Structure formats: C-alpha cells, structure tokens
A and B are shown apart, each in its own frame.
Chain A
C-alpha cells in the first residue's frame, strides 16, 4: 500500500477503532443537483450532530464549532461532488482523545488524468503563502469575472486555522485514484461537554 500512495502534508490515517471513528457518511445519487443538495444536507447534519458533544470555551463556542464543521464538511463534500470520477463520497469524522485534534476526512475517487493538476494545486497550497494566494485569487476572479471559488481550501486554512493533508492511492482501475483529504481542527478534549476532565471519553460509547 505504501508504495502506491502519495502523501502531501502531515497526513495520518483515520483511526479504524469504532470508539474513535464516530461518523461515516456516504452520499450518492444519480442526479448531480440532487447529489449537491444531499451534500449540503449532510454537512448540516454532521455539524448539528457534533455540536452536541462540545461545550463553549474561550477560543471556540459550541456555535462556532457547529459553523466550523458545517463549512469544512460542505467544502470537502462540494469538492468531492464536483471532481469525483463516480458520484460517491465518504466523510469520516474522528475525534481522537489521544491526539489534540478533531479531524475530518473526505474520501472519493478522481480520474487519474485529472489528478496531476490537483496535485500541482496542492503543492502550491502547501508551499505558498496562503494569505497572498487568497487575495491573488480574489483579484483574479474579479478581473476574469469568474465566480468559481478556488478559495475553499484557503479559507479552511486561514479562517478556521486548520491543517490540511492529502493522500492519493492507486486503485485497481488505472483510470481512477482514491484521494483522502484530511482537515485537522484545533479543537481538543477540553471542549467535550460531558466532563470538565479532558480525556474522559464516556460520551463516545453512546455513538
């Protein structure tokens, strides 16, 4: 598996143990408009689900966690919907109490022929100045009168203080690759609503 995967950024696999892997959601539909709408509803559902597990502290309020998860999930799902080789995307949300991160993974398939442009974009994203890239892209959109965003990942990094990483894995079908996008939010165990004690993971057994 290792020799068939390409990693960008500080990527780590989603934990497979059930008490850590909280939500796995797969949306699919034949009609692209319906698929888009399903993605929007999925992001709404995921964010409301997660809001209930956290409490407000100084840096993040519960509402802020809800809005952050909704925005990020919607962007990941939206990207997957737009660029997937087949109309299917899995969203995996993990909150590992042993690492100080709330992580959202989006897994989907892309056409091999289109993957190079995507990889080049990711390399620019990880090596460039995100703030300058954001402003440059906005100026370019205005000059071109092109309202296609191209700022989704940048806003996740800049506005939500998240780290991004990617994995591209070869499929048996040479025409597609499986991509995993990982977003780490700086939300730690102290935000859990069920206890003032970071590390008390009793709520996970309810899921």
Chain B
C-alpha cells in the first residue's frame, strides 16, 4: 500500500507493519490528506500487534499533517486497544522532536525513538 504525491510518499510494508514517510508533506487539509487516512484505516484494520511509524526521512510536515497523524492514526490505534505504536524519528530534522511531543500525549505508551 502506498500514497505518492508530488513531493512525498507514504508506504506501508506489510511484513514489518511499518508506515514510512518520505519527503515534504505540506498538502492542504481535509481532501489533501484523505488518501493517507485511507491507508491508516487499512493498516489498523489488519490488526498488527505493533505498528511502526517511520518519519526519519520526512523533511517537513505541516499542521494538517500533524492533525492527520494524531487524529487519523494515533487516536485510532489507541481506541483499538490491542495495537502498540512505535514512532521512529531523526534529529536530522529538529521539527520531529518538537511535533512528536504533542502527538505522544494522545496515546499513553507510545515508543518514541530517535536516530
């Protein structure tokens, strides 16, 4: 499963249950993020034990993207109750440490890792 835009890609690897973000994600809210939300829905429906969100190669994410990850994935996983969530970040892009601080407050027990 993947969503590819002009400046970004979002891919789901079934074997590792990893959603990987690449590039610059600054599309407009609501409609722009709908395909990514559909991918999140499909991933959660598979009910893996652990979902890994890998944003290490994501150079930029706007507030609609933060809202999409927070509301469209993290809260959905939390409400499911049977899936753990791990987020892989990189200090190469300092925004990741800042933005993930808020996202982690949405679900207790998120594993947050930095390279």
Contacts and interface: CB of A to CB of B under 8 A. Distances in A.
Interface of A: 36, 40, 44, 61, 63-64, 67-68, 70-71, 74-75, 78, 82, 131, 134-135, 137-139, 141-142, 145-152, 155, 158-160
A138 B71 contact: yes
Interface stretch (B14-22, B81-89, B99-107): B99-107
B90 to A, nearest CB: 11
A75 B63 contact: yes
Contacts, number: 94
Contacts of B62: 71, 74-75, 78, 149, 152
Contacts of B66: 149, 151, 155
B23 to A, nearest CB: 12
Given A138-B75, A142-B71, A155-B102, A147 B33 contact: yes
A138 B106 CA distance: 8
B63 A151 contact: yes
B68 A147 contact: yes
Contacts of B76: 142
Given A67-B93, A70-B60, A75-B62, A139 B75 contact: yes
B98 interface: yes
